[in-house]
Amino acid sequence: MAGGDDLKLLGAWPSPFVTRVKLALSFKGLSYEDIEEDLASKSELLLSSNPVHKKVPVLLHNGKPICQSMVIVQYIDEAFAGTGPSLLSSDPHERAIARFWAAYIDDKLVTSWVQSFRGKTEEDKSEGTKQMFAALDTLEGALRECSKGEGYFGGESVGLVDVSLGSLLSWLNATEVMSETKIFDPIKTPLLAAWAERFRELDGANAALPETDRMVEFAKKRQAQAAAAAAASDN
Amino acid sequence: MAGEGDLKLLGGDASQFVARVRMALNIKGVCSYEYIEQDLFNKSELLLESNPVHKKVPVLIHNGKPIAESLAIVQYVDEVWDTAGAPILPADPYQRAVARFWAAYTDDKLLRAYIGVNVAATEEERAEKVKDTVAAISQLEAVLADGGKAFFAGDSVGYLDIVVGCHLSWLEAFSKMYGVVLLDAAKSPIFAAWAARFGETEAVKGVVPETDTVAEYAKKRRAEALAAKRKN
């Protein structure tokens, strides 16, 4: 890491958006101070660093805050252009395609997966699940196009889209365990299934991704809390 | 001009996002492209082929290769025509991050709020969304006040100016359609002054959607949205 660069990450380990930033830092080989926030009792530092949204992740680089996971990842790539691999190609067309798919992942995949978990009715939830699988189907095609026969959306090595999708892996794996269905199905989406395994095995990914077991435990607790709240309000 | 090649833009005359791309091309002095108006209620083969994922405009087709998502397109234009006209995003990574942060804020908070004004099913809902729109504009007012320059980007227009500026004609259209005040010059004088200044720049010449065109289009979208709500 370049001398005199102080990096702090305000995060919460279960957040896939925080994981996204950790992945980028990890792949770039950057060291940082990992500050775990209690989201039920947000620190002064978080509130003053992200007054607009009051959310994690926030990256502090020499005290200057950068917010929004996708903005942070591109910042890391640009501010540390000389360090580690590039997360974006130098070719403008490939960069545009990567930005397109990164936006798609947040817009379609994350939204539908959240709906499958937090939908107000069973109907809502199953609609979310349907849309999630539709999005994964589309991403299978994206991977085929972007990888050009190599292993990652970024081609031979990981890029912005790999980091964007990879940040969801622990949650998606936890969902697989809890719902007893395959999300990365080697029959329906063979390229994605292979990609998921390959990605998880990378040193950079290992360092940043929460353990599936820990995520399952967390998700179960969350579900129990939501059920209790719903039961309490059904009076 | 170098880098131009064969350039087509699939557009829609009401679309803020198409306007945004045209503003970016204007900033770069790129004028010789084929603009192909799309009927968004009767989509062409070309549109469906060029943006199969979303089937939306804008789509920029450069030397036969399509690019979709207005912010991806704007950054593409900035990068391909890097030595032409003026820079759209600043060179400094931190300034770029700040511009991208507020762009995300605008397309999330401001856009959703005023679209909500259009598709509100009740007066109460509309009033809520008007409040949200005014709040988002207040937030952007603070950004301008902080910067203390003529434009979001500094002394001349840049990324955030066109990201926010493309929404202005929609705000105007909805103010008229619903008899509400969205851009209150008394509450947000700096933003109002910026909006007037922005409207006079070269970047917007000939590419701002007409409020009547927006109104007509928005009415159709409202009808669609209300029909969908009734089904559920």
Q: Which residues pair with B34 in a beta bridge?
A: B8
Residues in chain B: 232
Task: Tell me the C-alpha distance between A47 and A197, whole Å.
Answer: 37
Average pLDDT over residues A36-40: 96
Average pLDDT over residues B46-61: 98
Secondary structure (3-state) at A71: helix
* Burial state string for B174-207 with b = 16 or more CB within 10 A and e = fewer than 16: bbebbebebbeeeebebbbebbeebeebebbeeb
φ/ψ (deg, to 5) at A15: -75, 125
**Pick from A71, A81, A87: which is nearest to A24 by CA?**
A87
Beta strands, E only, A29-175: 33-36, 58-61, 64-67
Task: Tell me the C-alpha distance between B174 and B220, whole Å.
Answer: 13
Q: Which of B73, B93, B104 sits opposite A96 (nearest CB)?
A: B73
- How high is the pLDDT of residue A101? 98
A5-9, A66-70, A114-118, B83-87: which range is least confident on average?
A114-118
- How high is the pLDDT of residue A150? 95
The CA distances from residue A29 to A32, A84, A158, in Å, are: 10, 6, 13
Question: Hey, of A59, A62, A64, A66, which one would you mutate to test binding to chain B, going by the most B CBs within 10 A of its CB?
Answer: A66
Closest residue on chain B to A74 (Cα): B97
Q: Do B53 and A104 touch (CB under 8 A)?
A: yes
Residues of B in Cβ contact (< 8 Å) with A103: 69, 71-72
This prediction has a pTM of 0.95
- How high is the pLDDT of residue A234? 64
pLDDT at A24 over 90: yes
ipTM above 0.85, yes or no: yes
Task: Tell me the C-alpha distance between B88 and B159, whole Å.
Answer: 5
Q: Which residues pair with B162 in a beta bridge?
A: none
Q: Decide the pairing of beta strands A64-67 and B7-11.
A: unpaired
Residues of B in Cβ contact (< 8 Å) with A68: 100-101, 104
